[in-house]
Structure 1
Amino acid sequence: MTWVVALCLGLLLPLGHSKTVHIYVSPKGSDGNSGLDVSHPVATLDKARQLLDSSGIKGNTVYVELMGGYHNLQSTLHFTHAYSQPVTFRAYQDQEVHVTGGKQIPAHLFTQVTDHNALNMLPSNSRSKVMQLHLPSAGVTDYGKMSNFGFYRSRTSWLEIFINGEPTRLAQYPNEKFLNINSVPGGRHGKIITYSTHEDSRWVHEKEPWAYGFWYWSWADDAAAISNIDTQKHQITLATDTHYGVRVGHYNPAHLAYADNQGGYFRVFNMLSELDQPGEYYLDRSSGNLYIWPNTKSGTLASSDIITVSLINDCISMDRGVANLNFAGFTLEACRHEGIRGDNLHNINIQNMEIKNMGECGGVHLTSSSHVTVSRCEVYYTNGGVIISGGDRKTLTPSGNVVEDNHIWKFARVGGVGYNGISIGGVGNVARYNHLHDGQYTGLMWGGNDNIMEYNHIHHMCVNSTDCGAVHSGRDWAARGNVIRYNYIHNVVKNMPGAENRGIMLDDQYSSVTIEHNVFFQNQYHVNIGGGRDNIIRYNVFYDAVNYPLNVDGRGLRSTGNQATLFNTFQRYPYTSPPWSTKYPKLASITSHQPMAPMGNQIYDNAFYNKRGSSIVQYHGTGLDKKEYFDIHDNFMASPADFWSPREYDFRFRCSAETWARQKSVPQPIDIDDVGPRQPTGPKYMQKAIPQHHSTSHPASCTGSIVG
């Protein structure tokens, strides 16, 4: 009887199965349509979002099919609640779809400049090249605000212009690199600087000039409005203070082997008088006139060119608690702030997207979230790539977040420091098989516990800054259990005055990370241990550093500057109780034995080639060559011929290196074809085949020996 009743009741309950519903969206559609068949699409993504909660659609598996063309958002696409079944916004049948935070401007609205005042301001070489648009005539009146940026600062961009998907920039001087500060008449914390160029004679009639620079430290950039320009003294007065003050600079493009002199270099921008090359623009906010030298092949604008101005802030946002939402296969571009953002989310998937031309912070910025996946995306021309955090550090519950198989590049377009390619934080995040390159500062920044960074290809970072790591973390003793393995990290050198750059930087006594099975080459230093503890560095290839393979110091012995932060941070967590005490027993006893000393670091079973000689480590400071600080043993000093073909990124061991590796049970280095994206990235319409590298050279004879 009980079974029969239960069966009968069961027939009255939902079976837990949903049907599949398709909602069609087309720029040629109408929001008065049903959207439920391809012949009657709605016109806007926001209307499709509203339909998700309508009768007959709510509770089902839904595909929002975005049909080809430009879908210009009128406001942020904003999601407020979780969905019980997966909801996916995707390109319909892999068509080329652009979702933008802007507006397209017809080319015929741009005219030649005829105003005599504007022509006189323009450089002579650009007067016949620059075109003009009266923005209000194109229906654009919101120009945004000029605001500070740089050094981890969040801001919303001003109006920007993109031509055929390529960004333009506010006109600047110099066009490349920086000017030196010659003197600081008001002292470090003043706002007055001098310089040596006579170019400033052109700047006196500028309405809203700005300056951007690394004013005091080469690891801290900042932008500030200019309140006064004195061309007689070649002197600028800034309207606001900079982060750390100002100092005399030592920037010299002719000499890249700088000493430790920091900062003191800048450029000016937002100047009509410096609009002197393709891809630059200036907006006169008082008149609404936009002046631009198009960055097209012809240098002019044709009806086929797609000119977009950014208007809205975030493209897509999600409130706390949103779940089961996916985005796939289309381009997201031209918003003034971020591409996709949200907090405290669950089960969010972002796949095969092209995310570009964002004004600030990130293409994807999802915090305190779980089971987020960002995969196979192209992210570029942003100011920050992918920012993901989640998991519970107090309980060490992993987030399940994964950032994999992405191509992330030129992700610090306006400003540098703090605008990272990938930033992960919390517990149990994974960043793997990504290709990161061409960043002004860090490529991969991490924080928290038990994160894994593997199979990434990272290169050409720290371009305009120093004291920087391509992979970087710092100042957190509690951040244990992290692993960096099977990565290729190369071409991270010092181009500016200041401290050296590193492939991996363990800053300010960062401790307890395992760095293994990586290949490093042509970095200033490959790895730095900045006074931290319990780091393990093993089974790596360190090839051809500009300075030394590794640089280590004992900064905690000579300064207590980080002590309060270090102690306060780890004491927030139950580090003396399970699971912390069982997973990280050395942390539980850290205060009992010279806590500020660089205890317990191990460097062994690495193969290295070093032009400077037989040492794998450079000690920065005295009294550091103690085994209890840095236990360095069984590393193999190789010659270039001990690797198969370094010129072709082939670092397989051979000859003496192969013999050593066999004796020590050290595996062969990972192949470069096994790092970076495993599948084509971006929407279908832009995908390219994954390049392969195969060695064709024939190695010569080789020698080598085992050292310390």
Structure 2
Amino acid sequence: MTWVVALCLGLLLPLGHSKTVHIYVSPKGSDGNSGLDAAHPVATLDKARQLLDSSGIKDNTVYVELMGGYHNLQSTLHFTHAYSQPVTFRAYKDQEVHVTGGKQISANLFTKVTDTDALKMLPSNVISKVVQVHLPSAGITDYGTMSKFGTYYSRTSWLEIFINGEPARLAQFPNDIFLNIVSVPLGQHGKTFTYKTPEDSKWAHEKEPWGYGYWMYSWSDDATKIGHLDTQKHQMTIVNETNYGLRVGHYNPIHLAYADNQGGYFRMINMLSELDLPGEFFLDRSNGNLYIWPNTKTGTLASSDIITVSLIDDCISMDPGVNNLNFEGFTLEACRRNGITGNGLNNINVQNMDIKNLGSYGVDIRASSNITVSRCDIHYTNGGVSLYGGDRITLTPSSNVVEDNHIWMFARVGGTGYNAITIDGVGNVARYNHLHDGQYTGLMWRGNDNIMEYNHIHHMCVNSTDCGGVHSGRDWAARGNVIRYNHIHHVIKRMPGAENRGIMLDDMYSSVLIEHNVFYKNQYHVNIGGGRDNIVRHNVFYDAVDFPLNVDFRGILYNTTGGNLYAKLATVPYKTKLWSERYPKLAVIDSNHPMYPMGNLIYENAFYNKRGPGIVQFHGNGLEKKEYYDIYDNFKASPADFWSPSEHDYRFRCSAETWAKQNSFPQPIDINAIGPRQPTGPKYMQKAIQQYHSTSHPASCSGSIIG
């Protein structure tokens, strides 16, 4: 009897049980091979993708083993349907693997500059340093086109060039600062303006000059082609009107922090006559010649240098319904748009990747659930990770997670809207990430019940103002969000315009819980922009440039966002039982002065500020009402009340420790407890996580409690 049962089970097992299959891919392989053993690999990832649906492989757990070298995609790696079992694309035995959307160019194809017209235009002192390559001779004829970018505009890049993984930039002027608009003869919405620089005497013969800048506001960047340039009048006309128009600028690189008149500054890009630094290039699309001053240690090119140009748009894309896909352990680079993108997906995992040198986001996945991006290095992109998921109508969480990543230099070409992390929808989580060096926001969130915790966020808003290191705005219904246990620092004002903030609740954003964070060296640590029902408690606010918090009542003063707020509110069923039980204050917002900043609580925070004794700066008269901003039991500390601020150690001691115990305030989160918990990136390039250790000896104690 036992033998019969065993025989029956054995006969049935293959019908319901998957096996594990390995498909091997090597740049030295052949797509005529089987790919089923390391000695007979296929050559392309697309062939491996096709094999996933073949007999004997389909419906099994599959590992696509990418063998060492450069795997140059000829077109987007495109997935069209679901997989019943997990499929993983990974580096074989942790070898160094690069999957690129481009092509390598041999260093021996680069020569000294010989084109007569180019020699006339290049600065005379760099001619010996610049080299040229005729791209058609390297088999490259698709140069892309210069196109608009900036302010949340989805960017597809032109052909770019990277040397040893480092991006070059279009030659520009000025190199590090901006020029002011001097006059706007046709008004804000005209296309003509004047400027002042003798440098333009070199620009008359530029073939495709573009302007890039913050033309009207210091929170909105834009790029546009130059239609006409009059170097005698120092006047130019742009082809397309910019986002908000033009204004006279007051940019002063020496006194940036003190200028309030925002916008009106720009720079010229795509300028052969301004190719004057290592890492700058210019592509003449009329003849295919690319000119570059190599950004190598020697400033020259050797046979060992890896020179890559970007050719295809998206590296990896997935159609609605795709699931059970994993990508891990390799470098993904040199695409003109996104690294990994898709819509309507489920159960997608991206881990231990190095994602870089892209025209847009590293990972951009929308309307999807159970997406995890973890332990990745993402840099030299225009956007880090963007995940949209969950259902706001039913408040069904997405279970999307962005965790343990290192994301930096993520706004390489444009600024506003190219965030390190964007989460949107319901139930998304961003935790244990290290985010730094961005032109605009580090972490942007929208929707409901999202959690942002244990992140290390710093040096944001570099070329922008009226910006937050963590930022959201204009949605009364976006409730249930929590920002906790983060270190947020060095979000300061570097450009003319409004102030920057560690956390910015813009345009009446409401009902977020901000607790157990450590803030230091920000312009303002937290801003409440006229919203309601926000709770700020149990945080450390140390040494703001201005004040720990600033608040206002813009809804009463201007009412400029009211229509937008009501329109968003109408898209969710906020009075239904599900919503009213989850967010009771939202259910009665119509009858409770919706444009007033009602119900904000700021209590039991510890703060030290050189500028003055107050914890809150009020923008507007009549705001100091408890029904608007109830501020109580905050502790005014001294530097001696923290263990070692110079070493990012804000543990309480002395009077602060006594006060914290009385208020059940736990010790502030240690910097060693935030950011990635494990090494990031592929194993072939992992480095130890930087740790901070306190060795100082604190001085005497002091401190007091205020309202």
Residue number in structure 1 paired with 2:435: 436
With normalisation by structure 2, the TM-score equals 0.98
In the alignment, structure 1 residue 207 sits paired with structure 2 residue 233: no
Contact 1:217 1:264 in 2 (8 A): yes
Q: What is the aligned-residue identity percentage?
A: 78
Contact 2:421 2:442 in 1 (8 A): yes
Q: What CA distance in whole angstroms lies between the structure 2 residues aligned with 1:257 and 1:379?
A: 30
Residue number in structure 2 paired with 1:93: 93
Contact 1:511 1:533 in 2 (8 A): yes
In the alignment, structure 1 residue 397 sits paired with structure 2 residue 364: no
Contact 2:548 2:609 in 1 (8 A): yes
Letter in 2 for 1:105: I
Q: What CA distance in whole angstroms lies between the structure 2 residues aligned with 1:495 and 1:569?
A: 33
In the alignment, structure 1 residue 685 sits paired with structure 2 residue 684: yes
Letter in 2 for 1:424: I
Q: What CA distance in whole angstroms lies between the structure 1 residues aligned with 2:430 and 2:653?
A: 31
Gaps (5+ residues) in structure 2?
none
Deviation at 1:182, TM superposition (A): 1.1
Q: What CA distance in whole angstroms lies between the structure 1 residues aligned with 2:328 and 2:257?
A: 46
Q: What CA distance in whole angstroms lies between the structure 2 residues aligned with 1:117 and 1:563?
A: 57
Residue number in structure 2 paired with 1:554: 553
Q: Which moved more, 1:100-109 or 1:604-613?
A: 604-613
Q: Which moved more, 1:113-122 or 1:519-528?
A: 113-122
Deviation at 1:235, TM superposition (A): 1.2
Q: Which moved more, 1:560-569 or 1:584-593?
A: 560-569
**Aligned pairs (5 A) from 1:135-146:** 135-146=135-146
Q: What CA distance in whole angstroms lies between the structure 1 residues aligned with 2:8 and 2:97?
A: 49
Q: What CA distance in whole angstroms lies between the structure 2 residues aligned with 1:420 and 1:430?
A: 16
Q: What CA distance in whole angstroms lies between the structure 1 residues aligned with 2:229 and 2:394?
A: 56
Aligned CA RMSD, in angstroms, stands at 1.3
Gaps (5+ residues) in structure 1?
none
Deviation at 1:15, TM superposition (A): 5.4
SS of 1:125's partner is: helix
Letter in 2 for 1:396: L
Contact 2:458 2:489 in 1 (8 A): yes
Residue number in structure 2 paired with 1:108: 108
Deviation at 1:10, TM superposition (A): 11
Deviation at 1:531, TM superposition (A): 0.3
With normalisation by structure 1, the TM-score equals 0.98
Post-superposition CA distance 1:125-159 (Å, at most 9, x none): 21000001111111000000110100001131100
Residue number in structure 2 paired with 1:626: 625
Q: What CA distance in whole angstroms lies between the structure 1 residues aligned with 2:12 and 2:288?
A: 65
Post-superposition CA distance 1:334-367 (Å, at most 9, x none): 000100000010000000000000012x000011
In the alignment, structure 1 residue 637 sits paired with structure 2 residue 631: no
Contact 2:603 2:632 in 1 (8 A): yes
**Aligned pairs (5 A) from 1:452-531:** 452-531=451-530
**Aligned pairs (5 A) from 1:592-631:** 592-631=591-630
**Aligned pairs (5 A) from 1:30-45:** 30-45=30-45
SS of 1:262's partner is: coil
Q: Which moved more, 1:564-573 or 1:539-548?
A: 564-573
Contact 1:551 1:618 in 2 (8 A): yes
Q: What CA distance in whole angstroms lies between the structure 2 residues aligned with 1:299 and 1:371?
A: 46
Deviation at 1:257, TM superposition (A): 2.5
Residue number in structure 2 paired with 1:347: 347
Post-superposition CA distance 1:241-273 (Å, at most 9, x none): 001011111111111322421101100010100
SS of 2:237's partner is: strand
Q: What CA distance in whole angstroms lies between the structure 2 residues aligned with 1:196 and 1:699?
A: 53
Q: What CA distance in whole angstroms lies between the structure 2 residues aligned with 1:394 and 1:255?
A: 48
Letter in 1 for 2:151: F
Contact 2:212 2:266 in 1 (8 A): yes
Residue number in structure 2 paired with 1:586: 585
Q: How many residues align?
A: 703
Q: What CA distance in whole angstroms lies between the structure 1 residues aligned with 2:549 and 2:156?
A: 39
Letter in 2 for 1:76: T
Post-superposition CA distance 1:55-81 (Å, at most 9, x none): 000000000000000000000000000
Contact 1:113 1:119 in 2 (8 A): yes
In the alignment, structure 1 residue 249 sits paired with structure 2 residue 287: no
Q: What CA distance in whole angstroms lies between the structure 2 residues aligned with 1:353 and 1:154?
A: 23
Deviation at 1:234, TM superposition (A): 1.1
Letter in 2 for 1:86: P
Q: What CA distance in whole angstroms lies between the structure 1 residues aligned with 2:114 and 2:85?
A: 58
Letter in 1 for 2:574: Y
Check 1:683–1:12 CA distance in 2 against 1; reply closer, same or farther (3 A cut). Answer: closer
Post-superposition CA distance 1:147-172 (Å, at most 9, x none): 01000011311000000000001000
Contact 1:614 1:707 in 2 (8 A): no
Q: What CA distance in whole angstroms lies between the structure 1 residues aligned with 2:673 and 2:513?
A: 20
After the TM superposition, list the runs of 4 or more consecutive aligned residues in structure 1 that deviate by more than 4 angstroms. Answer: 7-15
In the alignment, structure 1 residue 668 sits paired with structure 2 residue 667: yes
Q: Which moved more, 1:672-681 or 1:229-238?
A: 229-238
Q: What CA distance in whole angstroms lies between the structure 1 residues aligned with 2:494 and 2:67?
A: 46
Q: What CA distance in whole angstroms lies between the structure 2 residues aligned with 1:259 and 1:560?
A: 26
SS of 1:531's partner is: coil
Q: What CA distance in whole angstroms lies between the structure 1 residues aligned with 2:660 and 2:259?
A: 37
SS of 2:258's partner is: coil
Letter in 1 for 2:634: N
SS of 2:447's partner is: coil
Post-superposition CA distance 1:76-100 (Å, at most 9, x none): 0000001000000000000000000
Q: What CA distance in whole angstroms lies between the structure 2 residues aligned with 1:177 and 1:424?
A: 32
Letter in 2 for 1:210: W
Q: What CA distance in whole angstroms lies between the structure 1 residues aligned with 2:441 and 2:459?
A: 10
Deviation at 1:466, TM superposition (A): 0.1
Q: What CA distance in whole angstroms lies between the structure 2 residues aligned with 1:174 and 1:259?
A: 20
Deviation at 1:115, TM superposition (A): 2.3
